[in-house]
Chains A and B, each alone.
Chain A
Amino acid sequence: MTATTGPASLSELIPDSKRAPKVRRPFPQRILGIWALLVYAWLFAPIVVIVIFSFNDPVGKFNTSWNEFTLDNWAHPFDKPAYRDALITSLQVAFVSVLIATIVGGLMAFAQSKYNFRGKGAINILVVLPLTTPEIVMGASLFTLFFARNVGFGFTTIVIAHVLFCVSFVALTVQARMRGFDWSLEDAALDLGSTSWQAFTKVTFPLILPGVAAAALLSFALSIDDYIITSFVAGDRTTTFPMQIFNANKVEIPPQVQVLATMILIFTLGLMAIGAWRTVRSEPAGG
């Protein structure tokens, strides 16, 4: 296969009579932009409420009704050690789970996308099955498994559960990204003298990186917010942030909860800002 010197674009092949006038229609573009804005407003509406309520001094134990403005909550954000410790646990769980799930799921997606092999269809089904399982069922079944095998409930069992439900998400997302991937790029790299490993890491992986990154992001959000499954496998010694909130929710919603949530928000927005700055600075023309 040699380089072709074909037409630069399809339009060269099409006779003039059939070619469409190149009129850019601004109308759909503006609508799309407005729609995007509305969607973001909707997505962030409750977030705005949460931030506002982090400055609320509630009358009773439930921070759900505006009373009066106070900076006290922010002055003592780590009061209520139970919530603080639970948040740290959640972050630790999420970090480890996402790492494992992204690698394991990514490898699977890679193999599924690149090769044909026996058992491929079966593995496809196996990957999708956990997604068809309601959380309560997955939680109860994992509980039964760990309990029967006398495994101590705690951080490890939580991570196992989180990786379980993230792996499928990762595999699907990366597979979607890799569908129709052009393997001749790897062939080219091999032709150029690199090993398969180099071909993968320097050619293929960077191109699927957006899919992998999206999957990792998704997994992080799933892990940090999981309640039902975690509540079954956490045992009585480990508490994650959602568990703490849910457990306490019957008796209290202290403002620290909104404060901690806002902190997470600021942190993630900060990361995005850094990413944005680097993108604007260094992205080559054409995006």
Chain B
Amino acid sequence: MAGTANTTLKKGKKGTYGLLSPGVLWLLLFFLVPMGSLLKIALSEKPDPWLPEYDFTWHWANFSDSVDRFGTELIRSFTYAGIATILCILIGYPLAYYLAFRAGKWRSILLGLVMVPFFTSFLIRTIAWRTILGGEGPAVWVVETLHLTGITDFLHITSNGAFLNTPQAVIGGLTYNFVAFMILPIYVSLEKIDINLLDAARDLYDVPANAFRKIILPLSLPGVFAGTLLTFIPAAGDYINATLLGNVRTSMIGSQIEKLFLSESNYPAAAALSFIFMAIITAGVLLYAKVLGTEELAA
């Protein structure tokens, strides 16, 4: 089986670059080039906030100033996103497993069903969550009627009996809005596991948990990796959840960048802060890839 399958990659030929070119060109033109000019702005100064003129002066101070000013929000963003990502894995992995191995012919439909809520507007969904979690909503009603307020406060699920306007609500919102991006890649990598491999694993290990740990989990790691990327990174940059569900002490780095751009018209600082954010994420991603084992991801 594994021995006769040919999974080695072929040597690229001229046609290969043809396949790649539309994508690469698109990314070059619409991503790298604008990022380049943004980097230039990050090293510039804007003498007059109201006028769109920049002096390119290698003004590295933009970077250090941004870290000084927004260190707290940076750490907070990564923390919230990290917790949300872990929650997404805990919630999403079992569901992906269920879909891949237990759902049989319903799996595609059920998978599509996971996506369906995300075809409605993000803002409307979050507003609906405000209704659910708000003071007059069902969540609070349940907790109060069952006299669970003490427990939920202790577990930090609520603050003084309130779900809304708390860091927990923000993290909950992040988890909710990005869990589909975790489920999908994990499902994709679980689903393609050779069924004979599964049978073999079950035969080999008397405890199913071991079969899972030794065979299935490692094979699903590329999916977990992809899911983590697709969840953690946008979650760290998101700020609308924090604005709608949080309070004055839960703001995230995205809204700081937005304020720098729009409210203070300070494009250089906004650009510098953005690059710091992206640099940290890139470093994190590379570290994470190393930890998971690069042979899984070297393409």
Which residue numbers of A lie inside 8 Å of B, CB to CB?
Answer: 1, 4, 9-11, 14, 18-22, 25, 28-29, 32-33, 35-36, 39-40, 42-47, 49-50, 53, 64-65, 103-105, 107-108, 110-118, 120, 123-124, 126-138, 140-142, 144-145, 148, 160-161, 163-164, 167-169, 171-173, 175-177, 179-184, 187, 210-211, 214, 217-218, 220-221, 224-225, 227, 241-242, 245-246, 249, 253, 257-258, 261, 264-265, 268-269, 272, 275-276, 279-280, 283, 287
Contacts and interface: CB of A to CB of B under 8 A. Distances in A.
Interface stretch (B58-66, B104-112, B148-156): B104-112
Given A115-B10, A176-B185, A176-B189, A45 B132 contact: yes
A109 B185 CA distance: 14
A36 B106 CA distance: 13
Nearest to B33: A145
B98 A36 contact: yes
A145 B257 contact: no
A33 B234 CA distance: 29
B275 to A, nearest CB: 8
Q: 4 nearest interchain CB pairs?
A: A117-B12, A134-B237, A46-B128, A141-B34
Contacts of B130: 64
A18 B31 CA distance: 56
Interface in B102-122: 102, 104-122
A164 B26 CA distance: 7
Given A111-B19, A144-B38, A261-B120, A175 B111 contact: no
Contacts of A241: 121
Interface stretch (B43-51, B161-169, B176-184): B176-184
Contacts of A21: 206
Interface residues of B, number: 114
A221 B105 contact: no
Contacts of B118: 221, 225
A163 B122 contact: no
Interface string B5-21: 11111111100110110
A20 B106 contact: no
The secondary structure that dominates the B interface is helix
Contacts of B7: 180-183
Contact of A108 (B24, B28, B106, B261): B24
Nearest to B267: A140
Contacts of B11: 115-117
B109 A49 contact: no
B222 interface: yes
Contacts, number: 327
A14 to B, nearest CB: 7
Contacts of B102: 29, 32-33
Nearest to B193: A180
Given A50-B125, A131-B229, A148-B37, A221 B203 contact: no
Nearest to B280: A132
A115 B16 contact: yes
Given A53-B131, A115-B13, A176-B188, 6 more contacts: A22-B202, A49-B131, A136-B274, A183-B8, A210-B108, A221-B119
Contacts of B257: 134, 136-137
7 contacts: A20-B202, A22-B202, A113-B9, A120-B12, A129-B31, A221-B118, A279-B109
B282 A107 contact: no
A165 to B, nearest CB: 9
B67 to A, nearest CB: 16
Nearest to B212: A28
Contacts of A123: 20, 24
Contacts of B5: 182, 184
B105 A280 contact: yes
Contact of A269 (B12, B116, B132): B116
